[in-house]
């Protein structure tokens, strides 16, 4: 019902996808031979991938074919609208089928539990990507009112709304001012734009995750944590343990380890890392820029494996943050042509000047901009104190008076500094 309200045209698609994967689990449960189980697994994986390729990557393949062959025809007029959340619920379904193939105890024959597992509305469109053995049993357990869960849920929703409306949506306007301009950018504005976008995407996506987990708690469900203060990571490896944890774990368990992980030779291990991050980049979108972003992260991880980072702990963590920020550029740019222009600009030292920085900053009034920067610094000081805890764990340790003060401060900041003029959307809805 929730998915149908968002986009009724694709309600049939999620029903078909859910039916395919439920029947695969059913057949795996009653299969008697290894060859039967293997055939069921392979055919189901292929069907899921075909659905994803058609609805997410069809236009990309057609455009690439046209560009390579220089054909001017009707191919370019074929358009397929990207269904909301297709990457997330397809990956969740794939994990179920693979786990069902490994162990029959991961299979549910309860059709209602399975369909609820695929379409659970708090995390349907942008995760966290849940494993069946964690979420499905929760649908099969009778729910009763839990006051502690409700309090925890409301805290997380409030924290998520603050991150989304106050920080993400405000820095999103500043980032768009830079990257959506028709004028030629200088090196300094590009770097500032990548910083703004880095703040936007983190608070946008982690804010969504907090809201999703919080709503789940209100309904009596425990969803997995998706972020652990990733901008305070000590290495690239540490960053990917803290950023979009459910997706990183998915690629590790279902791509990296099956490829051989680190059990093979050093060269093979580097190859496995490279392929995993290339696929991760492609997963994010049907644009060559996402593939470049994923590839770059794979390369820096391979390089990191050759460095004794313990010697340079603090300095290295700053370098990691700087490179991660710069690598947001291919993630954010609109297309390959823009990326080439930006790359050539960054390679020109003379392009680094501050001539039009004032124009960018004055998108907001000086008072509002300074307030936004101050609140962001305060936010990251809290992030630093959170360490690997979530906001709910952190605030529960405070005195009751302090907790109430923080709640009201967050509400006031949302109402007075929140950006309510932009379209209420989340970045990861497009994936």
Domain spans, the chain: 2-139, 148-430
**CB 149, CB 317: distance < 8 Å:** no
| Contact (CB, 8 A) for 89 and 17 | yes
In the DSSP assignment, the letter for residue 390 is: -
- Are 317 and 305 in contact, with CB atoms under 8 Å apart? no
Asked if 289 contacts 320 with a C-beta cutoff of 8 angstroms, the reply is no
- Of 228, 229, 230, 210, which is closest to residue 128 (Cα–Cα)? 210
The reported pTM is 0.89
| Radius of gyration from C-alpha coordinates of the chain | 23
The residues annotated as belonging to the active site are: 284
Angle at 253 (CA atoms; ends 250, 257), nearest 5 degrees: 140
- Dihedral pair phi/psi, residue 409, rounded to 5°: -65, -45
Burial of 289 (0-12, 13-18, 19+ CB in 10 A): buried
How confident is the prediction along the chain (431 residues), in pLDDT tens digits per residue?
A: 566 666 677 788 889 999 999 999 999 999 888 999 999 999 999 999 998 888 877 766 666 655 555 555 555 545 667 778 888 899 999 999 999 999 888 889 999 999 999 988 888 887 799 999 999 999 988 888 889 899 999 999 999 999 999 999 999 988 888 888 766 677 788 888 899 999 999 999 999 999 999 999 999 999 999 999 999 998 999 999 999 999 999 999 999 999 988 888 888 899 999 999 999 999 988 788 999 999 999 999 999 888 876 656 778 889 999 999 999 999 998 888 888 888 888 887 777 766 666 666 666 777 888 889 999 999 999 998 887 788 888 898 889 999 999 999 999 999 998 888 877 678 777 76
């Amino acid at each position: 019902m929730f998915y149908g309200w968002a986009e009724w045209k694709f309600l049939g698609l999620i029903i078909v996808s859910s039916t395919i994967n439920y029947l695969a689990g059913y057949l795996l449960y009653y299969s008697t031979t290894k060859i039967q189980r293997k055939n069921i697994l392979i055919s189901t994986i292929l069907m899921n991938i075909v659905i994803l390729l058609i609805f997410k990557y069809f236009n990309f393949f057609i455009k690439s074919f046209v560009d390579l062959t220089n054909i001017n025809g009707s191919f370019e007029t074929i358009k397929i609208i990207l269904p909301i959340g297709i990457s997330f619920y397809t990956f969740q379904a794939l994990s179920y089928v693979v786990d069902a193939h490994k162990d029959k105890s991961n299979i549910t024959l309860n059709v209602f539990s399975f369909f609820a597992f695929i379409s659970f509305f708090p995390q349907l469109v942008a995760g966290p990507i849940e494993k069946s053995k964690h979420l499905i049993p929760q649908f099969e357990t009778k729910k009763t009112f839990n006051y502690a869960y409700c309090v925890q849920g409301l805290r997380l929703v409030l924290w998520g709304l603050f991150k989304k409306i106050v920080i993400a949506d405000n820095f999103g306007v500043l980032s768009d001012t830079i990257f959506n301009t028709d004028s030629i950018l200088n090196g300094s504005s590009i770097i500032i734009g990548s910083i703004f976008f880095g703040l936007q995407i983190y608070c946008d996506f982690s804010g969504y995750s907090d809201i999703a987990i919080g709503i789940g708690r209100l309904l009596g469900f425990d969803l997995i944590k998706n972020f652990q203060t990733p901008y305070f990571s000590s290495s690239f490896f540490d960053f990917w343990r803290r950023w979009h944890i459910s997706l990183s774990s998915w690629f590790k368990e279902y791509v990296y380890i099956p490829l051989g992980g680190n059990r093979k030779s050093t060269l093979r291990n580097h190859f496995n890392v490279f392929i995993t991050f290339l696929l991760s980049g492609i997963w994010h979108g049907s644009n060559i820029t996402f593939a470049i972003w994923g590839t770059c992260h794979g390369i820096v991880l391979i390089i990191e494996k050759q460095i004794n980072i313990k010697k340079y702990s603090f300095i290295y963590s700053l370098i990691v943050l700087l490179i991660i920020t710069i690598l947001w550029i291919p993630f954010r740019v609109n297309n390959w042509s823009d990326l080439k222009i930006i790359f050539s600009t960054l390679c020109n030292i003379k392009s680094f000047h501050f001539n039009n920085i004032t124009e960018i900053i004055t998108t907001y009034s000086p008072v509002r901009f300074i307030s936004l920067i101050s609140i962001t610094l305060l936010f990251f000081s809290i992030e630093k104190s959170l360490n690997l805890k979530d906001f709910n764990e952190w605030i529960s340790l405070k005195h009751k008076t302090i907790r109430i003060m923080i709640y009201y401060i967050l509400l006031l900041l949302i109402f007075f500094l929140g950006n309510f003029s932009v379209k209420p959307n989340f970045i990861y809805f497009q994936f």
